[in-house]
Structure 1
Amino acid sequence: MHPPVSALPKAAASMLPTRALYMEVAERLREKIFNRALEPGSWIDEQRLAAEWGISRTPLREALKVLAVEGLVTMKLRRGAYVTEMSAQDVSQVYHLLAVLESDAAAEVAAHASDDHIAELRTLHDKLEKQVKQRESFFVTNERFHMRLLEIAGNRWRTQIIADLRKVMKLNRHHSLFKAGRLAESLAEHRAVMQALEARDAAKAQRLMRAHFENGLAAAGG
């Protein structure tokens, strides 16, 4: 059992708010990056943000280190922090890894998941079917479907790697789902994957999930 904060040495207790603060700052920065308030390639003005949020630059710099590990921020010597830009090669490499890792997970789910877990994925898929004309809602449910499939597959290391890769993919200026008609195509691919999962056809689920990412890369111009 952990001692209460009041029982910790003063030096240790004083560290806790700082740790909580830099994680909160990291989340704020992610939001700014994902909603394009900070564009890929743009310089992050630490002094302005610290003043805007009423904080010192220490938690801001710690937050930038967290985002640098995630790949969202690039630190340049004597130039500061920049929002990472995705090259065509970056996009291709990330899609390749997602295709390999998520197709592997789809095969495992088809072969080993409980009926309740398959039903849960069906519920998420049915929600996607209703959101094909609501792009932002479709994005959210689509990511939830993929992440839930990974959770069901049960390899936490794979799930963590993919979660980080998916964060980086949000930097892509040419996201595949932005292309006209891609939402409907993606939904049709999801439908086929879902049917393979329900049929417990591991090989087909793996092949279809891999094709889903390959088609996504083609739509993104990769």
Structure 2
Amino acid sequence: MGETLAVRTVPSLAEKAAADLRRLILLNLIAPGEALNEPDLVQRLGVSRTPVREALKLLAGEGLVTLRRNRSALVTRLDPAGLVPLFELEAALESYCAGLAAERMAPAEIARLDRLQAAMEAARDARDAYTRLNRQAHRLIVAAARSPAVAEAHERAFVRLERARNFALGSGGRVDESLAEHRAILAALRARDAEGARTLMARHVARTQALLVARLLGEATAEGSDP
């Protein structure tokens, strides 16, 4: 009998450049509306112009980059009108899941969430690590609700909100505020307080939404007042 060898696909230079640039955009290390100058990207991403151009096309297809004829591409701006309904959906789904999770979470899951909370506290000044751990905490709570259909709907909205959530984290003091909110949610889950967990999660998501909108409107006002 012949052996079946697993084939590992090596990412192309364009795919690697797209992954690196996607990370920078999702973490808002390159700001919404910022021009993506090709020579700068060549140096920053460590590849030639051809993979950079292909990467920009890939990210344009994901809605993260806006291509412009004979001009530098732009990081696509965040649009409150399109994001607010997604935040409302996230609040509804996550608060519902938090209530169910308070009743259904296994002790091992609560222990894991406790470890994630400790890791988030330790990573408060490391944006990449903090956002990754934060996503894991939210997904764990949703999974603990034991409702696959709701989890599937949540994942679709959650992925689309990643950049907006990270942008809101850039508001002054939001990381510390978010950590405190997560501590309160964890305490409610540990106490099996379904109503408390629902309320706290809804407030947590609504606060992120409010900060996002306020920051976007503030930046738009500032740009409009520039001479």
Identity over aligned pairs, percent:
31
Question: Within the alignment, does 1:189 sit opposite 2:181 as a pair?
Answer: yes
Describe the superposition over 1:2-26 as per-residue Cα deviations: whole angstroms up to 9, x where unpaired: 6676xxxxxxxxxx65x53332111
* Selected match of 1:55 from 38, 42, 48: 48
* Selected match of 1:67 from 59, 66, 80: 59
Question: Within the alignment, does 1:164 sit opposite 2:160 as a pair?
Answer: yes
- 8 Å CA contact 2:36, 2:73 repeated in 1: yes
Corresponding residue of 2:200 = 208
Q: Post-superposition shift, 1:86?
A: 1.7
Matched residues in 1 for 2:82 and 2:73: separation?
Answer: 19
Count of paired positions: 206
Question: Within the alignment, does 1:41 sit opposite 2:37 as a pair?
Answer: no
Give the partner amino acid of 1:55. S
Matched residues in 2 for 1:127 and 1:37: separation?
Answer: 22
Describe the superposition over 1:29-73 as per-residue Cα deviations: whole angstroms up to 9, x where unpaired: 12433565633212323466458744352x444433442344322
RMSD in angstroms over aligned alpha carbons?
3.6
Structure 1 unaligned segments of length 5 or more: list them: 6-15
Question: Within the alignment, does 1:121 sit opposite 2:113 as a pair?
Answer: yes
Q: Post-superposition shift, 1:195?
A: 1.9
Corresponding residue of 1:11 = none
- 8 Å CA contact 1:44, 1:83 repeated in 2: yes
134-143 or 155-164, which moves further after superposition?
134-143
Matched residues in 1 for 2:19 and 2:91: separation?
Answer: 27
Q: Post-superposition shift, 1:82?
A: 1.7
Describe the superposition over 1:87-141 as per-residue Cα deviations: whole angstroms up to 9, x where unpaired: 4435534432332232233234223332211110022223445566x47465554
Q: Post-superposition shift, 1:194?
A: 1.0
- 8 Å CA contact 1:75, 1:81 repeated in 2: yes
Matched residues in 2 for 1:131 and 1:115: separation?
Answer: 24
TM-score normalised by the chain length of structure 1: 0.69
Give the partner amino acid of 2:30. L
Change (3 A) 1:105 1:20: farther
Question: Within the alignment, does 1:179 sit opposite 2:172 as a pair?
Answer: yes
- 8 Å CA contact 1:106, 1:202 repeated in 2: yes
Corresponding residue of 1:101 = 93
Question: Within the alignment, does 1:32 sit opposite 2:24 as a pair?
Answer: yes
- 8 Å CA contact 1:68, 1:75 repeated in 2: yes
